[in-house]
């Protein structure tokens, strides 16, 4: 037997055995270490929109009533619930629900002046309102009254979640106004703070 051939064959066998052994450990190692060393990242994202939730107080949801007016002209006729709350406060309220996730601004408008079935109209500038963050004998103030319009206008700003907006309404009736029952529709809108009506 040739000694050189034997050494060469042993070396080749040793190299082949080493490659086999290394391949075996790498193969087994890849199965064992796969779960422990692999890491994948992904982005998690959400957009939360502003959500407004408001409720009419009971008296406001029943409508704004000015009662029966006998003598004309009549100036600053109080709506029936302007002063019937605690400390003579108003019970016309709009509440920002705790379900809301944003403070709100309130807007107001009317569809037309108060109109009778005979189509007589009390001009819309004669129907006024005032709104405030609290109520008592003086607030909301008559001196801050604003005439209704047929377009939404901002009436009160930045009412917080869980808080209420307090409203009073007044009516001026001219001396020559024909007798009758007069109606219109007053609409309220809540918008995100700072947004237009």
Q: How confident is the model at residue 3 (pLDDT cuts 50, 70, 90)?
A: very low
In a domain, 60, yes or no: yes
Q: 15 φ, ψ to 5°?
A: -65, -45
Q: What is the reported pLDDT for 92?
A: 98
In a domain, 79, yes or no: yes
- The per-residue pLDDT for range 139-152, each reduced to its tens digit, is 999 999 999 999 99
Number of domains in the chain: 2
In the predicted model, what is the mean pLDDT of residues 97-123?
97
In the predicted model, what is the mean pLDDT of residues 118-138?
98
Q: Percentage of residues in the chain with pLDDT exceeding 70?
A: 81
Residue 185: domain span? 54-192
Q: Which residue did the predictor score with more confidence, 95 or 29?
A: 95
Give residues with Cβ within 8 angstroms of 66, minimum separation 6. Answer: 77, 78, 79, 80, 169, 171
Q: What is the reported pLDDT for 58?
A: 87
Pairing of strands 127-132, 164-173: antiparallel
Same domain, 141 and 185: yes
Same domain, 122 and 167: yes
- The per-residue pLDDT for range 69-89, each reduced to its tens digit, is 999 999 999 999 999 999 999
Q: 24 φ, ψ to 5°?
A: -60, -50
Q: What is the reported pLDDT for 15?
A: 67
Question: Are the C-beta atoms of 113 and 123 separated by less than 8 Å?
Answer: yes
Same domain, 5 and 89: no
In the predicted model, what is the mean pLDDT of residues 86-105?
96
Mean pLDDT taken over the chain: 89
Q: Is the pLDDT of residue 130 over 90?
A: yes
Q: Is the pLDDT of residue 63 over 80?
A: yes
Q: Which residue did the predictor score with more confidence, 48 or 197?
A: 197
The 3-state DSSP class for residue 40 equals coil
Q: Which of 162, 157, 48 is nearest to 104 (CA)?
A: 157
Same domain, 16 and 80: no
Same domain, 12 and 89: no
Q: What is the reported pLDDT for 31?
A: 53
Q: Is the pLDDT of residue 1 over 80?
A: no
Q: What is the reported pLDDT for 179?
A: 97
Q: Is the pLDDT of residue 57 over 70?
A: yes
Q: How remote is the C-alpha of 84 from its chain's centroid?
A: 29
């Amino acid at each position: 037997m040739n000694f050189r051939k034997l050494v060469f064959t042993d070396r080749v066998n040793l190299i082949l055995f080493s490659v086999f052994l290394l391949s075996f450990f790498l193969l087994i190692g890849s199965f064992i270490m796969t779960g422990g060393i692999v890491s994948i990242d992904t982005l998690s994202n959400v957009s939360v929109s502003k959500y407004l939730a408001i409720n009419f107080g009971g008296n406001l949801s029943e409508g704004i009533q000015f009662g029966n007016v006998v003598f004309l002209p009549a100036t600053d006729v109080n709506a029936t619930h302007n002063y019937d709350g605690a400390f003579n406060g108003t019970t016309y309220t709009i509440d920002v629900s705790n379900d809301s996730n944003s403070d709100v601004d309130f807007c107001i408008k009317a569809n037309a002046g108060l109109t009778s079935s005979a189509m007589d109209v009390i001009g819309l500038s004669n129907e006024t309102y005032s709104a405030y963050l609290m109520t008592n004998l003086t607030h909301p103030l008559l001196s801050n009254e604003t005439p209704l319009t047929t377009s939404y206008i901002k009436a009160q700003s930045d009412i917080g979640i869980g808080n209420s907006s307090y409203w009073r309404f007044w009516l001026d009736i001219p001396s020559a106004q024909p007798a009758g029952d007069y109606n219109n529709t007053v609409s309220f809108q809540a918008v995100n703070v700072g947004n237009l009506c």
